[in-house]
Structure 1
């Protein structure tokens, strides 16, 4: 397999899951501005939508869209328990959380990545605060992970997106449960290994 990624982008979630599963894979960095990969390939030829992550399977097929990739990987390795059984109530809840992360939390960072300033930045942070409350409530009962006691693909995605607060200088201290969650997930060895491999933390 080959993962097309950009350091710290949402592709980090796929990177984490590949390492959680202990799978062998190659990786190729993508310049998300020029859409050129580190080997000089036109990324639009790999994913016409131009977004990371893209995962090339051993049979040559390309899977895109982070939430789809995460669930595909988990379903290929059900013994990992990285996703509940398809069709179960628990799987429906996983879908719910992945959709919230993608549609609500992930997208709410967009103004900050585009360099919003002044009132626009304040408004974007206020919007993020509303989304943070969803997960603050979810984790307030002492559960260590999104789905309870077991780390799942939802945690790989949520960690990745919450970690963006460090890059756009958003203070998470008003949400102490999320601060603790970031530290807890970030301490996992596969997560640390992915962060080091992408150059996001020192080895």
Structure 2
């Protein structure tokens, strides 16, 4: 398999999952400003949407959208436990968080990277993000991960989005459970491996 990625972008989610699962994979770096591949070529020929991630399977098929790729990969080795068993309420709790992070956090935070953002628009977006972060902080209080004591694909997604806060000058200190979560996930060996590969550590 080959993962098309941009350092620190949402492609970090399936990258972390790949490392947690110990599956073999290749990386292909994408320049999102120019939509070009590090090895040469137009990224639009890989993914017409123009953004990462894209996972190319061994048979040549491609899958996009970070959450979908993470779920696809987690299903390959269910014994690792990144996604609870099919049909269980625990599984849908993970999906509930995965969808929340994708739609309510990722999309809101992503607006702050828009160079056309007006001060008024930015203030409104930041207010929404703060409410979302407060909600997640409360949910994490007293537990290690979003659904309890076990790391899941949803936690990989939340960790990735939280990693965008510092570049955006959003201080996580008001939310101690979120800060503790971010440090806890960052210390996981698989997460360290993915971040080293993307040049995000040290």
What is the distance in 2 between the residues matched to 1:186 and 1:193? 10
1:175 equivalent in structure 2 = 175
Q: TM-score, normalised by structure 1?
A: 0.95
State the secondary structure of the residue aligned to 1:167.
helix
1:113 equivalent in structure 2 = 113
Matched ranges for 1:148-187 at <5 A: 148-187=148-187
Matched ranges for 1:34-45 at <5 A: 34-45=34-45
Q: In the comparison of the two structures, how many residue pairs are matched?
A: 201
What is the distance in 2 between the residues matched to 1:110 and 1:191? 22
- Which ranges of structure 1 fall in alignment gaps of 5 or more residues? none
State the secondary structure of the residue aligned to 1:90.
helix
Give the C-alpha shift of residue 123 in structure 1: 2.4
Return 114-123 or 41-50, whichever deviates more.
114-123
Runs of 4+ with >6 A deviation: none
- Which ranges of structure 2 fall in alignment gaps of 5 or more residues? none
State the secondary structure of the residue aligned to 1:3.
strand
1:89 equivalent in structure 2 = 89
Q: Once superposed, what is the RMSD of the aligned Cα atoms?
A: 1.2
Q: TM-score, normalised by structure 2?
A: 0.95
What is the distance in 2 between the residues matched to 1:163 and 1:125? 16
What is the distance in 1 between the residues matched to 2:124 and 2:170? 12
